Amino acid sequence: MPALASKALRPTLIAPLVRGTRGHAVAVDPPYLPPTPSPNSSQARPRYVDGDVRHDWRRSEIQKIFDAPLMETIYRAATVHRMHQDASRIQLCTLMNIKTGGCTEDCKYCSQSSSYKTPTKASRLIDIEPVLKAAREAKENGSTRFCMGAAWRDLAGKKSGFEKILKMVSEVRGMGMEVCTTLGMLSPDQARRLKEAGLSAYNHNLDTSREFYPEVITSRTYDDRLATIEAVRDAGISVCSGGILGLGEQDEDRVGLIHEISRLPKHPESFPVNTLVPIEGTPLEKNDPVGVHTVLRTIATARIVLPQTIIRLAAGRHTFSETEQAMAFMAGANAIFTGERMLTTPCSGWDEDKAMLGRWGLRGQRSFEDSESVSTTPMMTKEQQALHGVSY
């Protein structure tokens, strides 16, 4: 150590010495910088800094970010967030279940699977008009993305239902809203037709790491999910793909999910972070709730690794306090689901969410296709603004 005293210690030298002391600012490793190539090297290797969009992340790099002291990781993520996006904007999304239950998949977390006896009852695909009514209500309340979910494995044998959904997509898009669907696995032709109808984004979560995935789902492979993501991306539709925390996975699996997403040819437009809402009758009904610190670590790590992606604080958000949600926004989350319900789980209401965002100085994000002024995006009533002392 005396020999080192005359030199400035780099964080990479002292981090191993204090790795066990979480919260010590010095313990944060700097961003990965590949070694400078020698003068005789025929190919120079890139040097990366925070905020760079990369597709060559090593899993060990992401694990190091995830394991770093939490407050330092959140600060780092908040900095990256501001390099690419307006951190004061939170997109409000509303999700509607257009076809409930009866799904032939065996996802152990899902009450809509026909494999389990749950309170969720199977129903047919609903008519178009109730969907349009719900979309109009969502827009009036400030939501700028409207998502529709159908509990299907795929669209095989559902020709008339698919035609009805194409009509729903076209009508909602015509309202000036972003429109997203989640309908199970898609073929390239089905993805193309959704694009032609005006679909903005398609949700198809990877759920967890490739290694842990078989512990949760056996009716569809990890590569099946990646094939649908590829079909969606090739059709020119934005990809929405993330995961669920609390399935019984370990930190390594949370890192594995982010690593898998980071190495896609193009990062998803959005990355939903769900926390398990245990439902009676499912195999995971007795799982312990995931700690908020784990949610924050996952969000902050994803923000650093996927700097241009929208990170959606999704299912389970209603279990977090307002302060915990604010920390999630600081860590890089910039979208929430709001409204009456999220498929089969509870959801915070529009008025509650708009008041919360107003208290923290946050505002709604308008639809990418919407030409209206940002200043007209409704966030709080005049009465609420007076009550909380804010204005727009």
The active-site residue, picked from 76, 93, 110, 193, is 110
240 appears as a binding residue in the annotation: yes
312 appears as a binding residue in the annotation: yes
147 appears as a binding residue in the annotation: yes
The dihedrals phi and psi of 92, each to the nearest 5 degrees, come to: -95, 125
Whether 132 contacts 168, CB under 8 Å: yes
> Does residue 347 carry a catalytic annotation?
no
The active-site residue, picked from 76, 145, 147, 366, is 147
* Residue 151 falls in which region: left (phi positive, over 0), alpha (psi -120 to 50) or beta: beta
> Does residue 93 carry a catalytic annotation?
no
Both tokens of residue 154? 């795929």
The active-site residue, picked from 93, 103, 193, 254, is 103
The active-site residue, picked from 107, 145, 173, 347, is 107
The active-site residue, picked from 173, 220, 225, 240, is 240
Both tokens of residue 246? 């609390």
> Does residue 89 carry a catalytic annotation?
no
The active-site residue, picked from 220, 254, 303, 312, is 312
> Does residue 240 carry a catalytic annotation?
yes
180 appears as a binding residue in the annotation: yes
Beta-bridge partner residues of 342: 345
Where helices occur in the chain by DSSP H, the ranges are 2-5, 11-14, 59-67, 70-84, 128-140, 159-173, 188-197, 222-234, 251-262, 292-305, 322-331, 350-359, 382-388
DSSP per-residue codes, 20-81: TSTT-GGGPPPPP-PPPPPTT-SSPPP---TT---S---HHHHHHHHHS-HHHHHHHHHHHH
107 appears as a binding residue in the annotation: yes
Give the C-alpha separation, 257 to 52, whole Å: 19
Of the candidates 384, 391, 390, 340, the one whose C-alpha atom is nearest the C-alpha of residue 143 is 340
DSSP 8-state class, residue 175: T
The active-site residue, picked from 180, 220, 225, 317, is 180
Binding residues for [4Fe-4S] cluster: 103, 107, 110
Binding residues for [2Fe-2S] cluster: 147, 180, 240, 312
Catalytic residues, by residue number, are 103, 107, 110, 147, 180, 240, 312
Binding residues: 103, 107, 110, 147, 180, 240, 312
